[in-house]
Amino acid sequence: MDDPVAATVPFSPIGQCDASPAAASPPPAGKALRHLTRALLFGAVSLFSATTVIGQANFSAEEAVEKEEGIPVTDGLTREKCGTCHTADAKGNLSRISWVRTTPEGWDSAIKRMVRLNGAVLSPNEARHIVRYLADTHGLAPEEAKPIQYLVEKRLIDETNIPSESVRTSCAACHAFAQPLSWRRSSAEWKNLQDFHVALYSQADAQYRRPATDRPGAVFGTTEPIVNKPGTIPVMAGQVALEYLRKNAPLKTPEWTAWEARKQAPRLAGKWLASAWLPGKGLFYGTFTVAPGAAEGEFKTETALRSLADGDVLNAPGGGLVYGGYAWRGRAVPAGAPAGPGAFNQPLRSTMLFNPDRKSASGRWFWGDYQEFGYDVTLTRADGSPVIGAIWPAAIKGGAKAQTMHIYGDAFPAGLTAKDIDLGAGVTVTKLVSASPGEVVVTVDAAADVKPSVHDVSVASAVLVGALPVYQKIEYLKVTPETSVSRLGSGKRTPGYAQFEAWGFDAGADGKAHTADDVKVGVVPADFTVDEFQATYYDDDKDFVGKLSPAGFFTPASDGPNPERSGNRNNYGDIWVVATAKTEKDATGQPLTARSYLVVTIPAYKRWDNPGVSQ
């Protein structure tokens, strides 16, 4: 890949710059902003040599002395370029590097920091080689990567995995909690990282020194509140967070040891069936064809998708890299000019996890200045045996008669009959309309008393598990995303848009809404409006933050002081996004409604991203 900034930034290792010059990070604006990703940087040196007091223990320089077995660095170029600062030992370890593991994005950020702050001299190709080597040999196991995959997929979510307020205060007040969890470190390296934060970020010491109020029970064996006695050094939040990370993200894990023994070359060439959901546009289906690239782990791709809702077609050649035998990072450029913000045919990046059996993969293909748009993608390998990729329509209602259903897949056998298609109890295939190797069309009846649940779909020996929601009534709605962030735009800053959908749910067999057996049915036609989120007296945010289309597409207002607003304030604020169903009603005959919380804030003047890990 050509480096777009190599001519002006000769030491930029991976490609595009990851931060705008001479700009500071914007302050958080609302709860959702805690989940915007900022790089948790890899420390080059331990900056504390004297005793540091955090909590009841005196953390001395002794804690920075490495006592664990490291992971040797065997690559010649990595040893040459990194070994000038990171000293080697007799076992082939390089200081610091041999005691950490992380994602490709983590290693990319670390190398960029070495270049910018420590003067490392690397060409883009050398940097890419080192990132690939370290991500392959000092990376994460699939089981370790999956829980934090939302971070590299650029998803904005409400993190519910933070174990305690003390850990949140220390690790998730400035960036996503997934950021530290995307690293594995030795005990000494976690301490070095904490010291590095204190030295580099002025607010870190204040965060760590807040008195702790709780301990994660799974780590400390108790959920009892911490009582700091007068006259004693209190237990600090930083101490609790440090112990949590040492125990939950150590350098060596059973998952990593097992994966190192099992890891194989990524043999992904061939045809894959692709099912892709694009918010605001619906389900796309087609093929993702993979061919070998110039080197092992590099691939060329051809994407051919069609919208099952309106027939729009996406054709996009591209390519990708695979790290660690399973972690895909790719790019694709669709044919034709994009139709505008949010249009489905945008140049995109892809992040996916391939399952170890290389039969399936899942991930996100995304674009946008804030990566706010993207397809949720599932791939299924077409290896010559019958396989199902998608169905349409995506749900069936109890009592439906002669409902036409399309089942898409590959290698469906000849001579199929209606008896070869099984949609589960209470759903009967009444007629086989047509059949080909790639598509089966049937008509279906659903019993009036069929129980709400999610059914499997079978065609001969092929099964698509949990593919068909069967429901009786849409009982309630949810607006997705439930919490989101939009960014104001201007002549110099691209706006950060947002797309909302209203999803309908059946209350399930127990008839009680918001319980475990509820059935997520599908997107419900709805009109979208905004309402005020009452954060202050005389709140007027909804009149200034931007415009929401009836179809749920939010365009933020322009950046800058607004003379039409009291106090000449900027156009930021927070609002409710309200969906009102067009046809679905509640027990009183009123349209179903739901709402989502949206924060509209200033542009991000500094951004962390890793476009160079893709081909």
- What structural domains and CATH numbers belong to the chain? 43-258 (no CATH), 270-381 (2.40.128.120), 387-471 (2.60.40.10), 476-601 (2.60.40.10)
Angle, in degrees to the nearest 10, between helices 124-137 and 104-118: 140
Q: Which residues contact 563 (CB under 8 A, 6 or more apart)?
A: none
- Backbone phi, then psi, for 316, in 5-degree steps? -145, 110
- Backbone phi, then psi, for 200, in 5-degree steps? -95, -35
Predicted pLDDT at 336: 81
Residue from 6, 17, 7, 12 nearest 611 by CA: 17
Predicted pLDDT at 202: 85
**In the chain, which residues have pLDDT < 70?**
1-64, 216-228
Structure tokens at 350: 């892809």
Predicted pLDDT at 60: 55
Three-state DSSP state, 292: strand
Which residues pair with residue 476 across a beta bridge? Answer: 505
Predicted pLDDT at 242: 94
Predicted pLDDT at 213: 78
The rounded distance, in Å, linking the Cα atoms of 467 and 461 is 16
HSE, CB side, 13 Å, CA atoms: give it for residue 525.
4
Rounded to two decimals, the pTM is: 0.87
The rounded distance, in Å, linking the Cα atoms of 464 and 458 is 6
Predicted pLDDT at 340: 82
Is-contact 29 597, C-beta < 8 A?
no
Which residues pair with residue 458 across a beta bridge? Answer: 422, 463
Is-contact 517 537, C-beta < 8 A?
no
Phi-psi category of residue 59: left, alpha or beta, with phi > 0 → left and psi -120 to 50 → alpha = beta
CB count in 10 Å sphere of residue 475:
23
Predicted pLDDT at 246: 95
Is-contact 304 314, C-beta < 8 A?
yes
